Amino acid sequence: MLFPGLSVSLLAVSCALWPAAAVRAASCESVRIPLCRSMPWNMTKMPNHLHHSTQDNAVLAIEQFEGLLGTGCSPDLLFFLCAMYAPICTIDFQHEPIKPCKAVCERAKNGCEPVMKRYNHSWPDSLACSELPLYDRGVCISPEAIVKADGPDPYYQDPARCNPESSPDFLMDSNNLHCRGPNGDRCKCKNVKMNLKNYERNNYNYVIRARVREVRNRGLEPTAVVEVKEVFKSSLVNIPKETQTLYYSSSCLCPPLVPGEDFLIMGYENEETSRLLLIDSSIAQRWKEKMGKKLKRWDQIVRRKSQSRH
């Protein structure tokens, strides 16, 4: 059993010194999220506390906070976000990544939620402080318990860097709190082709045909409201044929959906919250009748391959 505080700081150091074999044993991977490279740990593990399966997906989600980070609203915000989106990976905690302490979350929330409210946002439910452990009652990490990495933090050099009240060159988008340059939006969705290779490799939790009713990009949890017409696959969450909400992992709204159109949608599920998720590797294509037969054929191929392996 680890003791909070000093023990976590020792783990952070040991993470960087593990031999390659130990890293593989714990399924750790190097932190590749640009915002989190200044953290005092350099190894992480997916899925993270927000259920992003890869760091590429986590990058899209954490980028929503760039504008908020630029305001300098809380010195704890970046640490807290990285502890959630790129949690420290250790040999001792292979199955349960260490969470940030509740106090770290509360300090970040208390400092930044007033800024968010000026843009009609609130602290997202997915980052609820009530779900996190207390410092003296469990293992968790906090800035005061870890030796900080050398070098400056690019977001605390100049709080006005992306502050809409003091910088004319960078604008905070009132829809998503993105920090955008004068040339406008930088979002670009990855084109994931609908083919057997991607269907098999990405192992989607759900596959549905649905009529898109509305796409909402308000707040830090963008959503799409759809009316489910047909369920081809569901793994963790029961999906009735009725109105459902799909939750985007990024304010870039990838993959794009068009209200009033029928789409074939492939994505992932969060069993704990019963949410249907749309991430960068999800597929959303306008519905065509031949798609149903194609999916059934793909399912047969996947099942045959699975049976042959066993």
CATH number of the CATH domain containing 207: 2.40.50.120
Task: Give 10-residue mean pLDDT values along the chain (310 residues).
Answer: 34 37 58 90 90 90 88 91 91 72 93 89 91 74 61 36 35 40 53 88 91 79 90 88 87 85 91 81 92 91 80
Q: Are 211 and 284 within one domain?
A: yes
Residue 128 falls inside a structural domain = yes
Q: Are 138 and 214 within one domain?
A: no
Give the per-residue pLDDT at 179: 40
Q: Which domain holds residue 280?
A: 196-308
How far is Cα 44 from Cα 290, in angstroms, rounded to an integer?
Answer: 42
Q: Are 46 and 116 within one domain?
A: yes
Residue 47 falls inside a structural domain = yes
How far is Cα 202 from Cα 259, in angstroms, rounded to an integer?
Answer: 26
Residue 118 falls inside a structural domain = yes
Q: How many domains does the chain have?
A: 2
Of 145, 161, 183, the residue that ends a domain is 145
Q: Are 37 and 115 within one domain?
A: yes
Q: Are 232 and 138 within one domain?
A: no
102-117 helix and 77-85 helix, angle to the nearest 10 degrees:
110
Residue 187 falls inside a structural domain = no
φ, ψ of residue 223 to 5 degrees: the values are -140, 165
Cβ neighbours of residue 181 closer than 8 Å, sequence gap 6 or more = 169, 170
Neighbours of 228 (CB within 10 A): 18
CATH number for the domain harbouring residue 34: 1.10.2000.10
φ, ψ of residue 50 to 5 degrees: the values are -100, 10
Which two structure tokens, joined as six digits, stand for 151?
């070098």
Cβ neighbours of residue 131 closer than 8 Å, sequence gap 6 or more = none
Residue 87 falls inside a structural domain = yes
Of 104, 129, 145, the residue that ends a domain is 145
DSSP 3-state of 145: helix
pTM to 2 decimal places: 0.48
Q: Which of 200, 188, 187 is nearest to 266 (CA)?
A: 200
Q: How far is CA 103 from CA 50, 100, 176, in A?
A: 19, 8, 26
DSSP 3-state of 225: strand
Of 145, 162, 187, the residue that ends a domain is 145
Q: Are 275 and 214 within one domain?
A: yes
Neighbours of 266 (CB within 10 A): 25
Residue 154 falls inside a structural domain = no
Give the per-residue pLDDT at 310: 63
Q: Are 219 and 135 within one domain?
A: no
Q: Are 214 and 137 within one domain?
A: no
DSSP 3-state of 162: helix
Q: Are 141 and 200 within one domain?
A: no
Cβ neighbours of residue 16 closer than 8 Å, sequence gap 6 or more = 41, 42, 43
Q: How many residues does the chain have?
A: 310
Cβ neighbours of residue 301 closer than 8 Å, sequence gap 6 or more = 196, 200
DSSP label at residue 184: B
How far is Cα 281 from Cα 285, in angstroms, rounded to an integer?
Answer: 13
How far is Cα 141 from Cα 20, in angstroms, rounded to an integer?
Answer: 24
Residue 1 falls inside a structural domain = no
Amino acid (1-letter code) at residue 297: R
Residue 178 falls inside a structural domain = no
How far is Cα 239 from Cα 33, in angstroms, rounded to an integer?
Answer: 33
Kind of pairing, strands 171-172 and 179-180?
Answer: antiparallel
